[in-house]
Amino acid sequence: AAAAATPGITILDHTIATGISTAGGAVTGVEAVDLASGEGLSFEAAAVVIATGGAGWLYSHTTNPDVATGDGIALAYEAGAELADLEFYQFHPTAFRGDGAPPFLISEAVRGEGAVLRNAAGEAFMAGYHPLGDLAPRDIVARAIVAEMRAAGSENVFLDCTVARGVDLAARFPAIFAFCQGQGIDMRSAPIPVAPAAHYLMGGVRTDTFGRTTVPGLFAVGEAACTGVHGANRLASNSLMETVVFGKRTVECLGEAPRGAERDPRAIVDGVDGGPAPGHGTLQALMWDFAGIERSHEGLERALGTATGWANSPARPTREWHELREMGTLARLMLKAALLRTESRGAHYRSDYPEQDDRHWARRQVFRRGN
């Protein structure tokens, strides 16, 4: 609402960006489609900022909204920008898991107040996985939960908040308390069913500390960007500070963007065609099963072949087709990055290479179109 009321800002509803235009190696604008009319749109710009968020919708279970498809990252790649650290995807260990309910994030702060994870048998299990028990790093907790779920053949474990003595849970965690109440659970007296969910992409469009990508005039901020500050495993809440700090620094640089070659605005399609796209669910299940919390060469290779097919599918002027194509592009790159990194580091865990290998892998992977 604040943005819509700001002079100089025009918000285009029901419009998707389908390409970033360049000339002479620099940005010249954005191509888009009006989904209501099917009309192709072309916008000239000396600077374009990718602020499209992450890619949680690539996975079956995610805390992200359904617009987090990673298409902005894929568009930057197609325009020639470098992407980095794509193998590092963070899975939050405790998202609500219930029939028909969204995977609402249950903060680790709840465990910080004394809540305990229990398996299907009611046993507290985290002490057997890490010296810090329930306060272990996110990736370790997520893998432990998956192991307990697999052993029990269950869809979730439980977060027991009844042992958090002396804590007013309703006052300390009002949003979580209200959500659980809406699901028929009083967290003061009953355990919360939880399981891991895709949460945050540490990688993205490679930028400097002023949001500049490797394409002149193209900038990226927020989760779509990869500044490198999160390394292989983001610390909680650091992404909020990153967005504020680097977002401000990016704005300071926008006036420096070189103007690319002039071009005439033009329509890029004549109308909507092609019918519905295949469902996102198949790609999401593939990524969850083979590029999720635990990965292996066999699984990554299997998923890579399917994702490559979607990435190479012809673009059609519907949101569903566009999103699936760009999701396929980013999924292919994420799978390739995970396949190449033959070690485990941070949020990237290979069951066939479970140890960290600093001798060969104390370095970043960068992808550019054509390499």
**Residues labelled as active-site residues:** 138
- C-alpha gyration radius of the chain: 22
b/e sequence 189-219, b meaning 16+ C-beta within 10 Å: eebbbbbbbbbbbbbbbbbbebbbbbbbbbb
Distance CA(82)–CA(261), nearest Å, equals 22
Q: DSSP readout, 126-184?
A: GGGT-TTGGGS-HHHHHHHHHHHHHHHT-S-EEEE-TT-TT--HHHHSHHHHHHHHHTT
Distance CA(106)–CA(190), nearest Å, equals 15
Neighbours of 279 (CB within 10 A): 11
Nearest of 34, 40, 67 to residue 51 by alpha carbon:
67
φ and ψ at residue 143, rounded to 5 degrees: -65, -35
Nearest of 318, 357, 282 to residue 40 by alpha carbon:
318
Q: In the block, which residue shows the tokens 């104390």?
A: 362
Please write down the HEC assignment for all residues of 5-64: CCCCCCCCCCEEEEEEEEECCEEEEEEEEECCCCCEEEEECCCEEECCCCCHHHCCCECC
Nearest of 37, 10, 12 to residue 268 by alpha carbon:
37
Under 8 Å between Cβ of 104 and 153: no
Hey, CA dihedral for 172, 178, 183, 185, is it positive or negative?
positive
What is the three-class DSSP state of 218?
A: strand
HSE, side-chain direction, 13 A CA sphere, residue 175: 7
Under 8 Å between Cβ of 53 and 222: yes
